[in-house]
A = this chain, B = another copy of it.
């Protein structure tokens, strides 16, 4: 007779297999499915979701967890089995709280909301989407009611993306962040000089095939393994791990703009490396993979920005750019390239924002989400509130809904509480990069030489290996040797962009 723990591990292994299959179907949907397959695919995804949910909430799983818990009692905190039981118990407790009809209602509202969002965008008409958002909020409030122990409603939503994190912690971090970012953005805005970014932009200058070869040569140096990874094209790029030995990243190509594919691929490579890095002992347990969306985003942003937009990286990148596009980069030096990939300018669209202004886009969404959930802002007033805040924080005027409140897909699909994790990722990335810089001798020289193995090994050891064994903040605090601190991120921005924009230290807030 297998022990309860062994039976639990088998059951979780099957759950993990099914979750991987669901991811595989998702990949197929986004990357290769012919368009006419869409309607049946929706049914398949819904069925898979039901099967997974059934298994994740099966009463036998609850019984098994209780019996396995006594089996691992007294084991060391770092023990795999103890962590498996602890995390699986938390997953189970959360899953069983939400009635099946509410879950189905949210799925349906998200599907209809997405369609309405597309139509509202096409017609530029908020009133098409507004009632859907009202309905989604109503369901989200019912969802929050399933977790009466939270300090405040938003906590219940945030926990789905950033487990254990409280809204009050995010508010405190973001208040400091805003206080630092607003004057920095203003100071840079006053100094904005010639647009070096034009190096990366030019009509038809970047043929697709040459971009793809360049992207591959870069990500293979970072860690992309052709025997275990895929690089494909997707309209909305993403990365996922089908286990740790089948990593799939996507990017998109714009023949007028090189930054899209190159930095997009570097970003997704960071996600991919994290998925790949879980310890082999965690394979087919529910502990493999990323511990939270914030930590996941820290891995993508670290490679994209803290490494990929650093001055030393230009020394690695420039010879490759010259080889791929000699007519464009033959006469360019590293400093000019560095400025070109680090243009700061307040703008309207989050996904195109630079490192400095990005946080303000997130803070606006985080504030509005809390107000929507609390009912202190009317859905009809949301577009105006959005525009007013963009004026206040970023100094830009929103011309229409597409460049304003209808730009992101998240709310339409019922995803609320997700946005803060993007900026948490930026903050964590800065702290990890600072710590790795201290720990690794000759960090800058390694990056300049394209020798990324030491940094990857450092991330493997301190962040990737553990998967979901420890809670996210604990994972990060151990890696950086202290608490989350937005000042490290702000200091990083000041130290980097002060010289680029010739700012006086006093102007940096």
Contact = CB atoms under 8 A, between A and B. Distances in A.
Contacts of A400: none
A322 to B, nearest CB: 29
Interface string A27-57: 0100011111101110110111011000000
A245 B39 contact: yes
Interface string A283-300: 110000000000000000
A183 interface: no
Given A28-B28, A47-B17, A40 B228 contact: no
Contacts of A47: 13-14, 17-18, 21
Contact of A51 (B28, B51, B244, B246): B51
A20 B48 CA distance: 11
A226 interface: yes
B230 A284 contact: no
A8 to B, nearest CB: 15
A227 B34 contact: yes
A229 interface: yes
A225 interface: yes
B34 A229 contact: yes
Contacts of A245: 34, 36-37, 39-40
A180 interface: no
Interface in A112-163: none
Q: Find the residue from A43, A44, A48 having the highest chain B CB count within 10 A.
A: A44
Interface string A219-231: 0000001111110
Contacts of A20: 40, 44
Given A21-B21, A24-B25, A246-B33, A43 B227 contact: no
Contacts of A24: 24-25, 28, 44
A346 interface: no
A472 interface: no
Contacts of A214: none
A242 interface: yes
Interface in A322-354: none
Q: Give the bracket for the number of chain A residues in contact with chain B.
A: 35 or more
Contact of A228 (B32, B36, B50, B226): B36
Nearest to A40: B243
A242 B17 CA distance: 20
A35 B227 contact: yes
B33 A25 contact: no
Contacts of A283: 40
Given A32-B32, A34-B227, A44-B21, A14 B246 contact: no
B21 A284 contact: no
Nearest to A20: B44
A283 B41 CA distance: 12
B246 A36 contact: yes
A99 B230 CA distance: 39
Contacts of A230: 32, 34
A277 B284 CA distance: 39
Contacts of A225: 36
B34 A246 contact: yes
B18 A242 contact: no
Interface in A164-205: none
Interface string A254-283: 000000000000000000000000000001
Given A14-B50, A34-B228, 10 more contacts: A17-B47, A24-B28, A32-B32, A35-B228, A36-B228, A37-B228, A39-B245, A40-B246, A43-B284, A44-B242
Q: Please give me the 9 A-B residue pairs with the lowest Cβ-Cβ distance, nearest first.
A: A37-B246, A36-B228, A17-B47, A40-B243, A36-B245, A17-B44, A14-B47, A34-B228, A36-B227
20 contacts: A13-B43, A17-B44, A18-B51, A20-B40, A20-B44, A21-B21, A21-B48, A24-B24, A24-B44, A34-B226, A34-B227, A34-B229, A34-B230, A34-B245, A34-B247, A35-B227, A37-B242, A40-B246, A40-B283, A44-B242
Interface of A: 13-14, 17-18, 20-21, 24-25, 28, 32-37, 39-41, 43-44, 46-48, 50-51, 225-230, 242-247, 283-284
